[in-house]
Amino acid sequence: MLLLITGLWALLWATAVAITNRVSMTLCSGCRLTEARKNGDCAWLRPDGKTQVTVEYVNDGGAMVPQRVHTILISTQHSPDVTNDFIAAELMEKVIKPVVPSKYLDDNTIFHLNPSGRFCIGGPHGDAGLTGRKIIIDTYGGWGAHGGGAFSGKDPTKVDRSGAYITRQAAKSIVAAGLARRALVQVSYSIGVPEPLSVFVDTYGTGSVPDKEILEKLKQAFDFRPGPMGRDLDLKRPRYQKTAAYGHFGRDDPDFTWEQVRKL
């Protein structure tokens, strides 16, 4: 079965970051638009920018295997002295090709590069109402489920934040241990009750052992109470400015302690 998945940039869910969201975050955040602007490769770039990547997948026994990139959209703020044709050519050569593996691009891949035309005014000057509205691109780009709570403005005693981080680590640890090719971890909480009301694991049929066995391994390796979650991930240490942009997951940074897998 061929699927099209698009990634933009008290139930808590976590899953492995799919290539859709990983490529989209890398193009925009990654770090490539930012890098090209700051190092002078594309001095005409300005800070505001958005990317969207649509990838075709095949369902291989529950695991989603990427086949090709269907569409890439980049809308980026720019200096007023460049043309749309120049922008498109620069984005293709200096942003897209260095990031997207060539094996996923073909003659039928669609590119929308600044499709709305001029984009000189950006940021708060051009748009308002930013608080808490990017919770999906902050996590899994529509690929995985989300409990609905935003992260920013909340300290780690709030399970909207700490619970999302610990379930990310748990799901990643399942895949890293070879227990499954794909995993989702769900934890639910109630105010005033430190123990989670439930912990749930779904490997979509990709598990090398039954999901119940994986769940027991998780319960032995992880303490899902808010206090221990903050302790184990060192969440009281200041470093959250880094999470204000470029997403909370899939980052190769030692400050993102929830990206470090645990032995199961």
Q: What percent of the chain has pLDDT over 70?
A: 86
> Is 85 found in the same domain as 182?
no
Local structure of 76: helix, strand or coil: strand
Whether 19 is covered by a domain: the verdict is: yes
> Is 199 found in the same domain as 114?
no
> Is 121 found in the same domain as 168?
no
The answer to whether 5 and 54 are in contact (CB under 8 A) is: yes
Residue whose token pair is 């890098």: 35
- Domain hosting 254: range is 159-259
Whether 84 is covered by a domain: the verdict is: yes
Report the alpha-carbon distance of residue 73 to residue 241 in Å, rounded.
Answer: 27
* 173 closest CA partner among 217, 228, 210, 229: 217
- Quote the pLDDT of residue 131: 58
- Quote the pLDDT of residue 8: 43
Pairing of β 63-78 and β 11-15: unpaired
Say which residue, 161 or 135, is predicted with more confidence. 161
**pLDDT tens digit sequence for 134-157:** 788 788 877 778 888 888 778 888
- For residue 26, give both structure tokens: 């890398």
Whether 247 is covered by a domain: the verdict is: yes
> Is 121 found in the same domain as 21?
yes
Task: Read off the pLDDT of each residue in 195-200 and give the average, rounded to a whole number.
Answer: 90
Whether 30 is covered by a domain: the verdict is: yes
Residue 20 confidence class, pLDDT cut points 50, 70, 90: low
| Residue 95 CA neighbour count, 13 Å, CB half | 36
Tally the domains of the chain.
Answer: 2
Question: Which CATH number covers residue 232?
Answer: 3.30.300.10
Mean pLDDT of the chain: 85
> Is 118 found in the same domain as 12?
yes
H-run or E-run covering 213: helix 211-221
- Quote the pLDDT of residue 27: 60
- For the chain, how many residues are written? 264
Query: Distances from the Cα of 245 to the Cαs of 27, 73, 87, 103, 106, in angstroms?
Result: 13, 19, 23, 29, 31
Q: Is the pLDDT of residue 11 over 70?
A: no
* 71 closest CA partner among 26, 4, 116: 4
Report the alpha-carbon distance of residue 67 to residue 233 in Å, rounded.
Answer: 35
> Is 120 found in the same domain as 7?
yes
Instruction: Please give the single-letter amino acid code of residue 55.
Output: V
Neighbours of 105 (CB within 10 A): 15
- Quote the pLDDT of residue 197: 87
Q: Is 103 exposed, middle or buried (0-12, 13-18, 19+ CB in 10 A)?
A: exposed
> Is 118 found in the same domain as 6?
yes
> Is 211 found in the same domain as 100?
no
> Is 116 found in the same domain as 7?
yes
- Quote the pLDDT of residue 23: 62
Report the alpha-carbon distance of residue 134 to residue 117 in Å, rounded.
Answer: 24
Question: Which range, of 53-62, 135-144, 150-159, 168-177, averages the lowest pLDDT?
Answer: 135-144
Residue whose token pair is 């992880």: 222
